[in-house]
Chain A
């Protein structure tokens, strides 16, 4: 017998420890992707069982298998479409009754099922015992106890899979729907007429689903059954007659019957303790969800999260930076040598792409910490508590209790990143609130916006720096909340809004391996998605800011300047003992020699090492070394001359860069936009910086740096910006800061928005509305402030007041659900 393949699906309700069972069975061999066409995560893994190679697929955790939620549809489609050989139904042993509800539905789908009672330790602690033998007897399928967290029960599960494969007589429990049975029988007869449908789908299940009024089943019927209309007629008739007969709608009768059976089974097999003991979770919740302590604990946890990931993570990122820095050095070593005026294209592009990538890699330590902390919050069970505490507040703005975390990640205060923020919206079950959250996340203060804030505050609000930072850090929330409400009342109005109903699972102590596994999984996903995109986008931006390039006349002008400087240096050389040893063509070599020596000494404090580097360079070229290190009188003299050349070179390079920038495609765009942006106080230079930020926000600071020329004068960007923009006032700076706050999502975030909303339309909307809003706000502040004669600082707080007022007013407007409830109440009182 050769090796066999077996497809096994892992089903279960949320919070039953399904992923720990998955990890226990598959170990490290896992693969994470999405189910085709949807944003639901699909985890697959493999393990061997004797001769058989088993492929295990983790289905989304669902309470039921209706067609109301995306997860349930995905799970159901997999069970029916991919025909797994066995389904392992993971159930929380301490909460058997509710978990059995899903088991009964799996049995109805006629897939060979193994029931896995997981978290036996929790049941034990609560003093509950389950009669396995009796349960197996009643259900007619193997029942296996496990404590997956401790790796207990793995063999048992594998044996059960073999058992159910060997002996699958279909002789398992069938739910008796009582009064509905004749209706099911009749419909079954009709469905059996269709040879395709009756082979592909379990007929009884299909009949029950149709009676339940399941929309997906109806669509399926319409597609496959030759006489679908007649069957549907029959279904509708049956539903109506049943409702009259039984006095209860069919779908309710079905659900209630299943629950009744679950309760009966549980009564027979589970021995409960006399008195329900207050367990640790209940006691903890007394404080965690307390009216006063709850919010305090919440704020404390968020503060710790912020401190560790952003503050400590930022420090760590700095420590790790040399790694990425050496990557940059390596790239510049490998790439073709620099030129005097401009660098070869390959070098310029290569350095640009590497720098753009390292700019993102720089955030890796922060992401790792962030993802680990989120995994801890998720695994511990605190997430639902957070939603519980904040739901009321967020709902007023069309958001959801579970919007909290994405917003924190996006940077509710200062520092975050929209990418994991948008990623985390996956957990929000309400479609409307989820989209609203996705659309406001890019408005939060991500880390990459901070450099520009710091430059502007340093340059224009230096005396009130703390207050200005507080302003920009908090005003974003007061802009985002009213806008979220506005969006959910307008463009998102027609989107599905789901009920809140949320399980509050007992607290768990997260395990280190579980946390690391999840954090690394997400980091990997992030890297794969982002790095490739960033590299591609960096190339496009490079072209946009470097081409079409300098006109020949200007080129000649700079060449003339270069030749003059070089000539002066060579003339100086001729007067010394080194005459004839450095020609016109070697001047660049001396300059690069100087740079290489400086580069080699970076971070070297040890005297011996420094001496070793010196002698190495001396050996390379004695003459160059003498000039660079000022050896002897002639060396000193030439060094002075060399500095002059270097200064000229830097000046030329800076001017060329600025000029090329101006005449580039992006520069042309910046100028073309001036008539619009002048109301916001932006000139074309600012426009270019803002346009370049679309690839990644940190570009704005870097671009301003290149426009104003940071790398030579020794000035900081804020100083050179102040010098370069004489007419700029704090009001300009304020408008610019606010525009940056509302800036459209950067390219990686846009891709994540597209991924999470599953639509290009929403991505484009997200980019478009934020651009418009940013311009509107910046113009309002700048033009309004100018007209009223406000200073930047006054305009700042006037705008702050405006935002807070807008937030309060928006909170007052009732949500559609509240309106419906009110009109209901009004009707009742008559």
Chain B
């Protein structure tokens, strides 16, 4: 399951990151790593991007980017 498939209000734990390069590095630097706890907070008024609660802070990413984050409920 990837992060972009989840609905606001759900919680999950990250299992894997399926991208490298600048995007991968940036995701890792902001705290996306296997084991991180993620809660989907809300979608933006125009659906994209999505706001997440990640290990104690809020971050928003685009659905395109969330696609690269594998999670499990």
Contact = CB atoms under 8 A, between A and B. Distances in A.
Nearest to B24: A252
B30 A503 contact: yes
A504 B20 contact: no
Contacts of B30: 63, 98, 501, 503
B44 A392 contact: yes
Interface string B30-62: 110111100001111111110100011111111
Contact of A501 (B20, B27, B41): B27
B20 to A, nearest CB: 6
Contacts of B36: 259
A233 to B, nearest CB: 21
Contacts of A95: 56-57
Nearest to A94: B56
B13 interface: no
B26 interface: yes
B44 A255 contact: no
Given A63-B30, A98-B56, A252 B64 contact: no
B16 to A, nearest CB: 9
Contacts, number: 124
A64 B32 CA distance: 13
A255 B28 contact: yes
B64 A263 contact: no
Nearest to B34: A256
Interface residues of B, number: 37
Given A68-B22, A498-B22, A503-B59, A256 B51 contact: no
B25 A501 contact: no
A263 B51 contact: no
A705 interface: no
Contacts of A503: 30, 57-59
A499 B46 contact: no
A809 interface: no
Interface string A266-309: 00000000000000000001000111101100000000000000
B28 A252 contact: yes
Interface stretch (A40-48, A383-391, A726-734, A799-807): A383-391
B65 interface: yes
Contact of A255 (B25, B51, B58, B65): B25
A251 interface: yes
A502 B24 CA distance: 14
B45 A389 contact: yes
B17 A252 contact: yes
A817 interface: yes
A101 interface: yes
Nearest to B61: A501
Contact of A388 (B23, B51, B67): B51
Nearest to A498: B22
A392 B31 contact: no
Interface string B2-19: 000000000000000100
Contacts of A464: none
A505 interface: yes
Nearest to A824: B67
A401 B56 CA distance: 24
A249 interface: yes
Contacts of A68: 22, 25-26
A756 interface: no
A260 interface: yes
A502 B46 CA distance: 17
Nearest to A98: B31
Contact of B33 (A63, A255, A391): A255
B44 A101 contact: no
Contact of B26 (A256, A292, A389, A501): A501
A97 interface: yes
Contact of A97 (B23, B29, B31, B64): B31
A500 B62 contact: yes
Contacts of A502: 49, 59-61
A393 interface: yes
Nearest to B52: A504
A441 to B, nearest CB: 23
B57 A63 contact: no
Given A252-B17, A289-B51, A392 B61 contact: no
Interface string A383-417: 01000110111010000010000000000000000
Contacts of B48: 391-392
Given A388-B44, A501-B61, A502-B59, A251 B20 contact: yes
B29 A255 contact: yes
A543 B57 CA distance: 59
A259 B27 contact: no
A362 interface: no
19 contacts: A63-B26, A64-B29, A68-B25, A95-B56, A98-B56, A98-B57, A251-B24, A251-B25, A259-B33, A285-B51, A289-B45, A291-B43, A388-B60, A499-B22, A499-B62, A500-B61, A501-B59, A501-B60, A503-B59
Given A68-B26, A506-B58, 5 more contacts: A255-B25, A499-B22, A499-B65, A501-B27, A505-B58
Interface of A: 63-64, 66, 68, 94-95, 97-98, 101, 249, 251-252, 255-256, 259-260, 263, 285, 289-292, 294-295, 384, 388-389, 391-393, 395, 401, 496, 498-506, 817-818, 821
A-B complex: 5 closest residue pairs judged by Cβ atoms: A64-B29, A392-B46, A255-B28, A259-B33, A504-B58
